[in-house]
Amino acid sequence: MNMNELKGFLASDFNGFEVHLDPAEGRADIVLNRPPLNVIEMSQRDEIRTVFEALDRLPEIRIIVLRSIGEHFSSGGNIKGFLEASPEHVSKLADNVAAPARCSKPVIAANRGYTFGVGFELSLACDFRIASDTALYALPEQKLGQIPGSGGSARLQKTIGITRTKDMVMRARRISGPKALEWGFVTDCVADAELENATDALVKELLFFSPLAQRTAKRMINDNEDASLSVAIEMEGHCYSRLRTSDDFREGVEAFHEKRKPEFRGQ
């Protein structure tokens, strides 16, 4: 698709969510909109992946926010949908849910209320999670005789370790927003009335930095997750060296010495 076709696609009606574009602010919002619980359908996961891929191609969009309408982010997936979906479709679910992680741009999840199942897994695939103090996180699949199937336990174990992951997954335990901050799998926890303001503030903060440096940092950190320390350090050195030749780095250095705000262009 060309740019006009991409924008037309993003203006479409989607299954259970909306896309809001604000090119002037460099921001796009993917908004779950099936209240009160924002249940996520099987087909919705495919659409969310396609939307992330489309937003990644729009140069005027710098930051993506994943949020919801109502008092709950998402209670998870449509349970009946698992029984109706083909094994081939189910096998692709983790790939769809990983779309925020694959996206080259920073992605923020704003969570309040129930953030369960695939809603939690989608949030874990984002770069930043801001929790309301009303947020409750859970992977409740054990109650159905199942396990998380879209990266939930794997991403959690990388973040909070094996003991706490077993506590959440094997007991289907619900963890509050404040406890999630203590355990380290959310970036911040704020009063529910401040969730939107905190999200907006993080968007504005991220917009200050070089988009090229941000893309490089995200890819480097993600790729180094499973690397040995020596390989990770080597990769960091290569990325650093590449950025030293960029226009953005030159602009950053000149702005620093001239005591002015840099004007980064992502080049």
How many residues are given for the chain?
A: 267
CA distance 182 to 177: 9
* Active-site residue, 121 included: yes
Peptide bond into 36 cis (omega under 30): yes
For helices 211-223 and 247-258, give the axis angle rounded to 10 degrees: 120
Catalytic entry in 5, 53, 121, 254: 121
Catalytic entry in 5, 88, 141, 254: 141
The tokens for 26 are 């460099």
* Active-site residue, 141 included: yes
Q: Put residue 90 in one of left, alpha, beta given phi > 0 → left and psi -120 to 50 → alpha.
A: alpha
Comparing CA positions, the residue from 255, 128, 262, 260 lying closest to residue 208 is 262
Q: In what order do the strands lie in the sheet with 114-116?
A: 114-116, 136-138, 175-176
Q: Is 126 helix (H, G, I), strand (E, B) or coil?
A: coil
Active site residues: 121, 141
